[in-house]
A and B are shown apart, each in its own frame.
Chain A
Amino acid sequence: MMKYIGKLEYYLIALITITLLNTFLGENFQSTALVSILVGLTVMYKGFTVIDHFMELKGAHKYLRLMMKTYFVIFPSLIMLTVFF
Chain B
Amino acid sequence: MSNKATAEPLGIFFRSWSEKNAGRVPGNIPIWVGILSELTEFGIFFTAYFIAKFYYPEVFSGGPQSLNTTIGVLNTIVLLSSSYFMAKAMANIRLDNLKKCEHFLWLAFICGCIYLCLKTYEFHWNDLQGYSTSTNEFFTVYYYMTFNHFLHVGWAACAILWVIFRLRKGAYSAKESTGLEALAVYWHMIDLMWILIFPLLYVLR
Contacts and interface: CB of A to CB of B under 8 A. Distances in A.
Interface of A: 8-9, 11-12, 15-16, 19-20, 22-23, 25-27, 30-31, 35-36, 39, 43, 46-47, 50-51, 53-57, 59-64, 67-68, 71-72, 75-76, 78-79, 82, 85
A46 B77 CA distance: 12
Nearest to B72: A23
Given A31-B61, A75-B46, A50 B83 contact: yes
B22 A31 contact: no
B150 interface: no
Contacts of A19: 73, 76-77, 80, 198
A61 B19 contact: yes
Given A55-B185, A60-B23, A63-B17, A85 B90 contact: no
B48 to A, nearest CB: 12
A71 B76 CA distance: 19
Interface stretch (B2-10, B50-58, B154-162): B50-58
Contacts, number: 115
Interface string B170-205: 000000000000001100110110011011101111
Contacts of B80: 12, 15-16, 19
Nearest to B18: A61
Given A23-B203, A63-B17, 16 more contacts: A8-B84, A8-B91, A12-B80, A19-B198, A23-B202, A39-B203, A46-B195, A56-B26, A57-B26, A61-B25, A64-B26, A64-B32, A71-B39, A75-B43, A82-B204, A85-B54
B26 A61 contact: yes
Given A16-B77, A39-B204, A50 B192 contact: yes
Given A47-B192, A63-B17, A22 B199 contact: yes
B50 A82 contact: yes
A31 B177 CA distance: 45
B93 interface: no
Interface string B21-44: 011111000001000100100010
B199 A26 contact: yes
